[in-house]
């Protein structure tokens, strides 16, 4: 299998894109630490836990452990990496997927939600990378995938036509753009040590449990979910490449699948 012998941590893996990437990595042979806050379902409209993802991986023939971790908490992040190393003895892959999005304009987004975007979407990946990096440096090998978004792609200077969407998620967009710049800065810094840093984004909106939750009223039945198949295939592909030569890329899932015939 492509990723036989590799060990991965996937953040935000209780459901949605994180869950689907964790499953794809495991099916490709990696042992996976499934990390997120959700040990129980927080709402009937929002199914999925770290334990359910582990069950799904094991049902598919893979190897996984559940690790409860809040990526805004440095102690929990360090414990997550420690548990992974104690269980599997190494760490090769880190997928930073956990993120928050509060859809408000600049005048009505509470300051606490501004801080939350920064804590989870920017500080979280930085802390996770910092915790994982010493082991990857010792191994002289590692793959870091930061999950971004088309929201991080900006339209350039105006004036703007009516087909340019008016963003109601300015903080989410700003943090995703920051993550892309972070990724390429670290790609330059650690290329010679054999550690790759790449960004991966969904081409469009995937109907994950989190996305559907925002459209479902309390007591209502959520519409059907979509699996992030192309995201999973793309993540496996990235982690199958030479980290010294395939690094610093800003990738979109559908284009990656098409370009590399995945």
The set of catalytic residues is: 172
Query: Using omega within 30 degrees of 0 as the cis cutoff, is the peptide bond preceding 159 cis?
Result: yes
**Residues 6+ away with beta carbon under 8 Å from 107:** none
Q: Edge-to-edge strand order for the sheet containing 195-201?
A: 63-68, 31-36, 7-10, 93-96, 142-147, 195-201, 250-252
């Amino acid at each position: 299998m492509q990723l036989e012998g590799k060990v991965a941590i996937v953040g935000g893996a209780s459901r949605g894109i994180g869950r689907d990437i964790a499953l794809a990595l495991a099916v490709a042979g990696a042992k996976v630490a499934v990390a997120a806050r959700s040990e129980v379902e927080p709402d009937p409209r929002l199914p999925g836990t770290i334990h359910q993802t582990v069950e799904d991986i094991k049902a598919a023939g893979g190897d996984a452990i559940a690790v409860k971790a809040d990526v805004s908490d440095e102690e929990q992040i360090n414990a997550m990496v420690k548990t992974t190393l104690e269980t599997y003895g190494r760490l090769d892959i880190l997928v930073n997927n956990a993120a928050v999005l509060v859809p408000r304009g600049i005048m009505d987004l509470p300051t606490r939600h501004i801080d939350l975007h920064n804590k989870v979407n920017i500080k979280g990946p930085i802390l996770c990378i910092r915790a994982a990096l010493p082991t990857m440096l010792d191994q002289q090998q590692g793959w870091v995938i930061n999950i971004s978004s088309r929201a991080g792609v900006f339209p350039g200077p105006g004036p703007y036509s009516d087909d340019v969407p008016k963003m109601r998620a300015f903080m989410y967009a700003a943090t995703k753009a920051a993550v892309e710049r972070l990724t390429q800065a670290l790609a330059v810094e650690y290329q010679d040590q054999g550690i790759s840093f790449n960004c991966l984004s969904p081409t469009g909106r995937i109907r994950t449990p989190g996305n559907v939750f925002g459209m479902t009223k309390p007591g209502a039945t959520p519409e059907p979910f979509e699996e992030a198949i192309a995201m999973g295939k793309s993540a496996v592909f990235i982690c199958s490449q030479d980290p010294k030569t395939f690094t610093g890329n800003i990738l979109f899932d559908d284009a990656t699948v098409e370009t590399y015939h995945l």
